[in-house]
């Protein structure tokens, strides 16, 4: 009997780190469920992965409500047959101090960065249990481990993701469900340019400054983050759970 390929669900898959993660898992032979908001980019990515022989499906919508998380899990099971790995990658940032942060910005940040992670992880556990276990990898941030200026809502949400990761890891370790967080620093994605504009900076200058501030002298690449995520989802990492691993060129070391 042919071995059944494992299934991964990647949120925020239509850009940046999420796209790199989807490509990495497809190259490893996984069936891939893409979740995001940009249907045009999602369709292009799906075509690309299918042209390389991957089984791919896609779902589009707002994941900040419980009903959407349940719908996405049901769609994944129906289209691909189950779930072995959930990668919670979708995220947003608003640059503002506490005084400057509006209620809308606070609630939107929490809905995307934290609520969606909780709702999706909660909905994923029964599917992972049916497969005899699996992995959840949450994309947090190095600013979930240390503070950052003028990013109050973002830091709070990513810090909460780290703690959610630890608590769920303890709850489900006995079920062979491993839950870890990856904490990227400045990563070479289009989102960096969006963030620079939010701060009133020239994007190219902001990239150079971020690279110069890193102990390694460069930005992290999306592909490097993707390979770490794939490792944490693999059997080689079967004794790693509840970890929050920075991939930030050493920024949090100091």
Catalytic site residues?
154
| 18-to-34, 51, 86, 227 alpha-carbon distances in Å | 9, 19, 12, 12
* Distance separating alpha carbons of residues 101 and 23, to the nearest angstrom: 35
Q: What is the 3-state secondary structure (H, E, C) of the chain?
A: CCCCCCEEEEECCCCHHHHHHHHHHHHCCCEEEEEECCHHHHHHHHHHHHHCCCCEEEEECCCCCHHHHHHHHHHHHHHHCCCCEEEECCCCCCCECCCCCCHHHHHHHHHHHHHHHHHHHHHHHHHHHHCCCEEEEEECCHHHCCCCCCEHHHHHHHHHHHHHHHHHHHHHHHHCEEEEEEEECCECCHHHHHHHHHCCCCHHHHHHHHHHHCCCCCCECHHHHHHHHHHHHCHHHCCCCCCEEEECCCHHHC
Output the six-digit token pair for 153: 């809502």
* Distance separating alpha carbons of residues 176 and 72, to the nearest angstrom: 23
């Amino acid at each position: 009997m042919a071995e059944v390929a494992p299934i991964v669900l990647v949120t925020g898959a239509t850009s940046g780190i999420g796209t790199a993660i989807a490509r990495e898992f497809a190259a490893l032979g996984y069936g891939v469920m893409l979740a995001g908001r940009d249907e045009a980019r999602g369709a292009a990515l799906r075509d690309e992965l299918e042209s390389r022989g991957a089984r791919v499906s896609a779902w589009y919508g707002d994941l900040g409500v419980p009903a959407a998380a349940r719908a996405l899990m049901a769609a994944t099971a129906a289209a691909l047959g189950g779930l072995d790995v959930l990668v919670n990658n979708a995220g947003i940032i608003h640059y503002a101090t506490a005084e400057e942060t509006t209620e809308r910005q606070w609630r939107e940040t929490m809905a995307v960065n934290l609520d969606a992670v909780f709702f999706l992880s909660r909905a994923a556990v029964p599917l992972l249990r049916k497969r005899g276990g699996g992995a959840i990898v949450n994309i947090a941030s190095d600013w979930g481990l240390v503070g950052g200026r003028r990013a109050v809502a973002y830091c709070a949400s990513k810090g909460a993701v780290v703690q959610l990761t630890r608590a769920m890891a303890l709850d489900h370790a006995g079920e062979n469900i491993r839950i870890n967080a990856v904490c990227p620093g400045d990563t070479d994605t289009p989102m960096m340019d969006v963030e620079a504009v939010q701060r009133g900076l020239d994007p190219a200058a902001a990239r150079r400054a971020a690279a110069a501030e890193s102990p390694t002298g460069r930005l992290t690449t999306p592909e490097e983050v993707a390979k770490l995520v794939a490792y944490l989802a693999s059997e080689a990492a079967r004794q790693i759970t509840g970890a929050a691993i920075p991939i930030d060129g050493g920024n949090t070391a100091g």
